[in-house]
Amino acid sequence: MNQSLRSCKKFVHLDLKGAPPRIGYLIELIQLFADLGANGLLIEYEDMFPYEGELKALQSTTQPPYRRDEIVSIQDAAYSRGLEIIPLVQTFGHLEFVLKHEVFRDLREVDYCLGTLNPHRDAGVRLVQEMLQQVMKLHPKSTSLHIGADEVYMLGHGDESKHWLDVPGWSVHQLFLSHVIKVAKGVQESAPNLNLMMWDDMLRSMTPETIKESGLVGLVQPMLWDYSPTLDVENTVMLMERYKSAGMSQQWAASSFKGSTTVHTCVTSTQRHLDNHLQWLKVASSLSAGIKLQGIALTGWQRYDHLSILCELMPVGLPSLGSCLQTLLHGGFTEEAQKKVVETLGTVDVEDTERLSSRTSSSFAGAKLAELIVKLTSLLESAELRHFQNNMFVRGWFTPYHRQKKTINPLIAQQIKTQAKIILDAVESQVQEVRGEMCLLYSDSTVQEWVDQHITPVLEPLHNLLRDIETVLNEMGLCTESIS
């Protein structure tokens, strides 16, 4: 059994750039995280932070951001359970929520990439520094800050960067490092005791010498992220040893408990994420003594980026989170680990709806919604719905040829409509149940977004088919009741 990950800090990542929970539910979740074994939160507010002044434009317009007193209540809830809080503020890449605004458009590295900041503009550096200051001012007890800096796409492609790179010996690596160092030193000036960390992916292709000579060492600690259930242990250990040889002995790990399967996944697979954590345990037990593992962040992505659709909602990911936290605490998914998860949540697998629905007195916050989403997703993924266009009646009597010729056997048309209506009615009934439960935990705009992204695209082909049938029947002079 491995001691280093068992004893180190375990931070649950709250990705609030999508489906931010209502404040009451968020407070309940924080209590649950503590019950499950977490001892910290990594909070990524993005547009849900109540920025002020020139930055007020960054606030979400689809729903109100958290109020300042709500940000305080989040911290109070965490600190009352002994949880540390590390704010995460992107400062280079993944700034879509900032650079999408026309007022900040000229700060993009290239115009068609909304995520990457132009590192040559003083206004851009001042912008991220102001973001950092406003967030940290509202988190006076936080002793650490995550400055993001992952996936800085298209860096070096902007005109100013191309000009900068024309200087012999200068590279994109140095361009990246110079901006991160500038940001880190700016933070250090105003908060010299603040511990800084960053995502590591942009460092992976650099030599230890490049990192060492840049001046980054001692300013920022790398957080290595890998969410794969088949994480390459040997290569990850080699990477961590390479960072150590560059002088970065204090390192963090980042795993995933949800939001990293596919961009549109609705139901979390506990086994997939368990496997990821078991691989991280192997990594931790293989490190040399010189690497000081500071902790692990269990990421729970709610979107892949600001403009993508919603991943699994938090209630659906809780059994996975509990299982992963307990696996880290026990050094494996032991019988004791499983017992703790079942005692707290009722199940280790959200797809076990029988266990979810059988819980009464101590059902976890959001269990009912999780159960309904699993059942609805199962219906949406049924062959009957997904492959309706391939059933005998559609394939035999309403092909593209029939639509072009505007002809259909009316009896068959009625058969198709009857079958489709049975499916649509069943889905709509479950959707209404999901809506009713979801609006208790999330804003109306989040509920509508989830339905529009995960339900509407699945039903649309069926609705289009029915409309086409109605059109053809009308062309044939057979007026029937319209089905929307």
Active site residue 470: no
Radius of gyration of the chain (CA): 25
Mean pLDDT across 278-285? 96
Report the alpha-carbon distance of residue 395 to residue 381 in Å, rounded. Answer: 20
pLDDT for 359 equals 53
End-to-end CA distance of the chain, in Å? 59
Report the alpha-carbon distance of residue 127 to residue 375 in Å, rounded. Answer: 45
Confidence of residue 354 (pLDDT cuts 50, 70, 90): low
Report the alpha-carbon distance of residue 304 to residue 17 in Å, rounded. Answer: 10
pLDDT for 342 equals 93
How do the domains of the chain map onto residue ranges?
5-354, 382-476
For residue 484, is pLDDT > 50? no
**How much of the chain, in percent, has pLDDT values that exceed 70?**
96
Report the alpha-carbon distance of residue 366 to residue 315 in Å, rounded. Answer: 5
DSSP string of 245-293, one letter each residue = HTT--EEEEEEEEES-S-TT--S--HHHHHHHHHHHHHHHHT--TT-EE
363 alpha carbon, distance to own chain's centre: 25
Mean pLDDT across 336-341? 95
Average pLDDT along the chain:
94
Report the alpha-carbon distance of residue 264 to residue 267 in Å, rounded. Answer: 10
Alpha helices per DSSP H over 36-121:
68-80, 96-99
pLDDT for 97 equals 97
pTM of the model: 0.94
Give exposure, 66-88, as e/b (b: 16+ Cβ within 10 Å): beeebbebbbebbeeeebbbbbb
Confidence of residue 353 (pLDDT cuts 50, 70, 90): low
Least confident segment among 47-51, 281-285, 360-364, 458-462: 360-364
| Three-state DSSP class for residue 225 | strand
For residue 362, is pLDDT > 60? no
Report the alpha-carbon distance of residue 186 to residue 55 in Å, rounded. Answer: 18
CA distance readout (Å), 12 to 3, 36, 122, 231: 20, 10, 34, 20
Q: What are phi and psi for residue 335, nearest 5 degrees?
A: -60, -40
CA distance readout (Å), 476 to 407, 441, 466, 467, 480: 7, 49, 15, 14, 11
The sign of the CA dihedral 310, 316, 318, 323 is negative
pLDDT for 357 equals 63
Q: To 10 degrees, the CA torsion angle through 187, 123, 179, 293?
A: 40
**What is the CATH architecture assignment of 5-354?**
Alpha-Beta Barrel (3.20)
pLDDT for 172 equals 97
Strand order in the sheet with 9-15: 84-87, 40-44, 9-15, 292-300, 250-258, 221-225, 195-199, 144-146
Within 13 A of 146's CA, how many CA atoms are on the CB side?
29
pLDDT tens per residue across span 42-95: 999 999 999 999 999 999 999 999 999 999 999 999 999 999 999 999 999 999
For residue 483, is pLDDT > 50? no
Among 82, 197, 76, which residue's Cα sits nearest to residue 140? Answer: 76
DSSP string of 161-186, one letter each residue = HHHHHTSTT--HHHHHHHHHHHHHHH
Q: Which two tokens stand for residue 30?
A: 């924080």
Report the alpha-carbon distance of residue 407 to residue 191 in Å, rounded. Answer: 74
Report the alpha-carbon distance of residue 195 to residue 184 in Å, rounded. Answer: 10
The secondary structure of residue 367, as a DSSP letter, is H
Q: What are phi and psi for residue 117, nearest 5 degrees?
A: -80, 140
Q: Which residues contact 184 (CB under 8 A, 6 or more apart)?
A: 147, 196, 216, 219, 220
For residue 226, is pLDDT > 70? yes
pLDDT for 390 equals 87
Q: Can you tell me which residue has the tokens 């049975």?
A: 422
Q: Which residues contact 373 (CB under 8 A, 6 or more apart)?
A: 266, 267, 313, 315, 316, 434
pLDDT for 361 equals 43
pLDDT tens per residue across span 380-419: 999 888 888 888 999 999 999 999 999 999 999 999 999 9
pLDDT for 482 equals 46
**How much of the chain, in percent, has pLDDT values that exceed 90?**
91
Q: Which two tokens stand for residue 290?
A: 């010189």
Q: Which two tokens stand for residue 68?
A: 């300042």
How many C-beta atoms surround the C-beta of residue 185 within 10 A?
Answer: 11
pLDDT for 120 equals 97
Mean pLDDT across 331-338? 95
Give exposure, 385-400, as e/b (b: 16+ Cβ within 10 Å): beebeeeebbeebbee
Mean pLDDT across 306-330? 97
β partners of residue 251: 293
Confidence of residue 7 (pLDDT cuts 50, 70, 90): confident
pLDDT tens per residue across span 137-146: 999 999 999 9
Please tell me which residue in 28, 52, 130, 151 is annotated as part of the active site.
151
Q: Which two tokens stand for residue 149?
A: 């800096």
> Which amino acid appears at position 10 of this protein?
K
